[in-house]
Each structure stands twice: as C-alpha cells, then as structure tokens.
Structure 1
Amino acid sequence: MLTKVSFYITAIVCLITAFVIKRVYFKEKNKNTDTNSIQGIKWFALAIFSWGAGAFINIILTSVFNISTNHKIIISLGVFFSLVNSLFILMSIPSIEHYEKRSIVIRIIERFTNREVFIIFGGILGMIASVFLISFYSNNNENASNNVIWLIDIPISLVVAFSLLQELNKAFKNRGMRFMYLPTFALFVLIIIAVTHRIIPETQIQYWIPLSTWNILGIVTALSFKFLFILLFTILLYSWKLLAEKEEQQSEFIKIKTIKETLEKDKETLLIANESHLDTIKHLKSEIDQQKKKYKKLKKSSKVELSDRQKEVLANLGVCGTKKSYTEIAEAMNISVDGFQAHIYQIKKALNVSGSDGKEQLISYAIDKNLLGFATISCS
C-alpha cells in the first residue's frame, strides 16, 4: 500500500515539476539565452520527467493490471527509468556554472557528443534487457533475481551521485552559498541509503529490523532524495536567473554608455553648427544628464577588479592578440595553454564578455583601460 502511495506522490510531483521547468526552458530559449545554460534546464526537466513517467507506468501496472510491486516487470522498469534518469542528470551537470576544475566524470562526458553518450547508455540498457530475460525465466528466488537486476544500475547511480555532489558544492561555493553544502551532502547520503535498500534482500534484513520498518525506510528515502534533488536544482536555477539578470544589466550599461557617447558628439556638433538651436541643445543636455545618472549608477555596480596576473594576461593579449594565437601567447609567457585559457575564461566572466568576438572585446578593453603597460612579452 505504501509503495503505491509513493508511486502517486512521485508521479504527481515530478510530472508537474517537469512541466513547469519545461515552460521555463522554452521561455529562456525564446530569449536567445546562453545555449549551455538552457540545455541544462532541458536535461534537468527530462530527469524529473523520467521519475514521474516511471511512477505513472507503475501506477497503471499495479492498479489496472494488478501486478505486484515486487514483480520482475516493476523492478526492471524501475532500473530502466533509474538509468534514464542518471543519463539526463549526467547531461545536465556540465551546465552547472562554476570556476573550479570539473570532476573527472564530467570531463569524460564533455569529450563525447550527446549522441555518443546516448549510444553508450543504449548498450547499458541492452544489458538490462538481457539480465531481465535471464532472471525472468530462472528458478532463483524472486528477491535474489531482483537484486541481480539492480546491480547493473547501482554503480552508475553512485558515480552520478558523487559527481553531482562535487559539482553542486563547487557551484554553491562560487556563488557564496557554502551553507548549501549540508543539503548537497544530505542528498548524497540519501542516495546511498536508497541504493543500499535496493541490494539487501529482505530475507537477510528481517533478522535485524522488522520488514515493515525496512520498507518504510526505503520509501521515505526514495521520496526524500527525489524532492531534495528537485529543491537543489531549483535553487541553482533561481541563482542562475539572478546571474542572467546581472548580465542583462551589464548589457544595458554598455547600451547606455554608447547612447551617452553618441549624445555627447551630437551636442558638440550642434554647438559648433548653429547656436540658435538652443532649445534642442537644452533638451539633449537634459537627456544626457539623465543618462549620466544611469551610467554612474550602473558603473558603480559594475566595477571590476582584476588580479595582477589577469592584468598581465590581458595586456599580453592586447599587445599580441591580433598577431598571435592563444597557444603562441601562452608559450611566450611560459605557461600552459589550458592555464592561459583558464585566465581568459575568468577574465571574460569578470568583465561579462561573451560572443564570437570575445577576443576582440578583451583586446579593446586592455587598450581602453591602459593595461598594455602590464605586458611581459613582445610581438617583434
């Protein structure tokens, strides 16, 4: 009975949450938001949807077809949707933004295309089907067969859980939210408990605690880590939204700065051309004053402080960026290309530089801010 209740709760909560997050995905996609970020929203929604879809199918099988919750079909479907969920979570993790080094699992995933990752998981799902067929026609104990099926999903679940723990902690650290370490660790512990619950046969656990208590523990743990997972990613989504708004503010700052410069030029032209246009000039002056106030306000909130090393990298790029590649500049500085690009990435983040012309923007910034004096290489 409790298992069926957990199916209903999971299906309702996860399907509604997936629908809401999918709406957020389409809304951000229509705004032409950064592709990597919105792709993460999509995979996150699909991960939640896979939980809801699995629970919904289990409701149909148990309620309409009267299949037992311990039947091999239910267990095999649980393993299938768990693997699908792990896949979508792995696909969503690279979109979690932070400045720290990625975990080894995520670095491996990033080396493959989405299609290649799906092919790899397709092979794993083929293994699941084989194990299901073998266990279905075997004469072994029901619980033992179910435990064999779960053994294929458990290593993957543990790897995904550990990678998720690392990336979440790095993201919260970079956003000044270290207090979120405890919830992320709690999520990892709950996943470990849920995995342990799957692989220990009831025939062995009944000697230690009552089966009813053991089953309640499994259901509560499974629901808890799902809801905590949704909560943590929702917090990340909200904090990402705040970062996006900050970037939008920076874009507005650049736009206002351009308008200000244009108005200044128009003012000078009008003063020289015809002093009789005093009314027009007065109007422009008033508008310029308003833009100055906005400019000063945004400038104050957009101050950027670069380290000496970042100034050196930016200055060297300003001196040689039009003549040399990143690799050549890195070699001239006696640092690795990865180290040089890491500095460039951090500088772009600090200056909110993005787009295909990011290199040109950095060179212009170095020249405009008189940073070329920090250069340690020459292009002669």
Structure 2
Amino acid sequence: MRGKSALLAALSAVSLVVAVPSRSSAAPTTFTHPGVLVSKPQLDFVRDKVNASAQPWRGAYDRMMAHPFSSLSRVPKPRAVVECGSYSNPNHGCTDEREDALAAYTLSLAWYITRDNRYATKAIEIMDAWSATIRDHTNSNAPLQTAWAGSSWPRAAEIIKHVHGNWPNSGRFATMLRDVYLPEIVNGRAATNGNWELSMMEATLGISVFLEDRAVYDKAVSIFRTRMPAFVYLASDGSLPKAPPGSGIDTRAEIISYWHDQSTFVNGLSQETCRDFTHTGYGLAAAAHIAETARHQGQDLWAEVRERLRHAYGLHAKYQLGAEPVPSWLCGGSFKQALGPTTEVAFNALNTRLGIAMTNTQTLTERQRPTGTDRLFTGWETLTHASNPA
C-alpha cells in the first residue's frame, strides 16, 4: 500500500463528513442490495426477457455470453501493485485488472440469468484472487485506473453476495475496496478533466453501497453535485461554465483553456467535447451510473441532472450521427473519435422512465445495439438497461 500516511489522510477526510453534516447528506438509512448500477427488479426484468427470447435483450445476452469475459476457463491475473502511466503506459496490470473486474461483473450477470453456479464460482474465483493479492495502484493514471476497476468490482460483488450468497471471502473483498481503492479516489481530483472525477465518484459511490458506508456515500454525492455543472454546461449557469471547486480555475482565460479552448458555450456542451467525444462519453456514462445507483438507494439524482444529461447526449449524438456539419464555432469545426457505448443508462432513465423525447440519442442508441463493453468500465448496458422500466 502506498503508505499509512496517505491512507490515514484519505480516511480522515471521509470522517469529516460525519463530523460536519451538510445539506447534501442523503445516504439511505438502509441500503438496498443488489443496488450498484443494477437492481434486483431490473435483473428480473432482463432474465424474463432473455428467457422469452425477446429483443434486444436476447441479442445482447448472446453477445455477452460469446465474449471472453464470460469464459469459465478464464484465469485471473492479480498483481500486488498495478502501475499505470498516462494512457496506460506503462501497463503493469492495468488491462488485466480492468478486464478481470469486468469479467467478474459479466459472470455475475451470466449467473443471475442462467442460475448456473459455475458462473458464480468463476466470478468469486476472480474476486478472491484480487482481494488476496492487490495492495496498491501507482504512477500518474493510478486514480483513473482505480476508478475504472473500482466501478466494476462492486457491481459484481453486490450480485454475488446478496443474491447468490455462499462467498466466504466477501469480507476480505470488502477490506480490499476500503483499504486499496477508496484512498485513491474518495477525495476526487478537482483540476483533472471531468471524466476522471466522475469515474472516481462512480467507484466511490458503488463501493460505499457495498460497504454500507453512509459517510463515503454522502461524500461521493457531494462531489458529484459540484462536478456536474463543471462538466456539462447549461445556459442557466451564466456566460461561463462553472469551475470545479478547489481547482484553482477561476478566470475566463483559465476556464476556456480548461474547456479545451472552446469559447462559445451552448446547452449540453461538455468540458471535454473539444478534447474528444470518447472521453466525454466516459464522463457522461459515469454520471448516468451515479444517478442510477443513487436511484436504487432511494435518492433521485436524475431530477438534478436530467437537463444536463439530456442536452449533453442530444448535442453529442447529433454530431456523432453526422446529421449536419459541425459548425466552425464548435471545436474549430470538427470533433475527434466516437461517443462509445455510453447512452443506454441515461436514455432509459430519461426516455423510458421519465418520458423525455430524445430523438438523436434514441437513433444513436438503437443504432449501436446491442452494446458490448469498452473494456474499461462499461459493459452490457443494452442487456441491463434497454427499455427497462424497473
């Protein structure tokens, strides 16, 4: 582990939430399990649809079951220290950790739908291997790497512990999440690109649910609430986007630089739009995952972020679809890379459940079905969230 001083500092920061409650305190008195990204009613809906061979769920399930992440012969590759530099260079365990975490989640979904215990056994094997081994994340991408893997682990752990049961080392896994993962992510990173901090808060929130830690839950929600206006712009914010509190970004020139030299702001523009759509998609997906997990815990964050997310997905989907030329005022007239398989959770929440028309987002979402995995932290979201009213 990186050192007792760093760990104590991080956990001390968490304890301050308990000592000084704020208006954002919203953790449930009783946590709902499974309740990280997916809930039992959602999973039951999916299982029924797959068993009835209904589309798009059956196609999404077949794609998942054909993927190496669902393989019963998978051999986990845990490391004591995962070292990840910028863009995973060096890559000492980075890909292995992320993919093992996603595999554990994939296998837990496979078990839930099939009730074939071999899938649960393999998921447990992977989680046990890592909880027995990992002690630290290092190098410049350590917070983001920790966030990505830390977003997937509790999704799997929730299903296995609270539905399957019979997991003797679940306590050791919980200790791993608290001692190895939380210290790296719980305080956020205000001055980074927004996808970093949103992914860090997604992992923090998911871990807090698995640990039933109300203080950590409240801290994740508090940081999320200040990060969202600094990641997605609305005209009601004023002439300039909000800056992340504590970032030191406070002048017009600094904000424009932080928004990758974009100086014209419209509803739905993201802080990373003019960097590329791929990292924008990471941030939007993490935000949707946070709101969905909070909903399972009885808190309506969707009401707080619906306008930002509907405009953000609408704007980016429009240009991703190529329906019209990118105007010269937007990122110099061009954008980079793809939005990725990031729309299903938000589209389901905003369109299926809230009835908000999202024409461009719907077209893009349906065109991409059935989505697979980005091999980072999203996976099988057509299966779990397409037209899912639960």
Normalising by structure 1, report the TM-score. Answer: 0.25
Higher relative contact order (CA 8 A, sep 6+): 2
Q: Could you state the TM-score of these two structures normalised by the residue count of structure 2?
A: 0.25
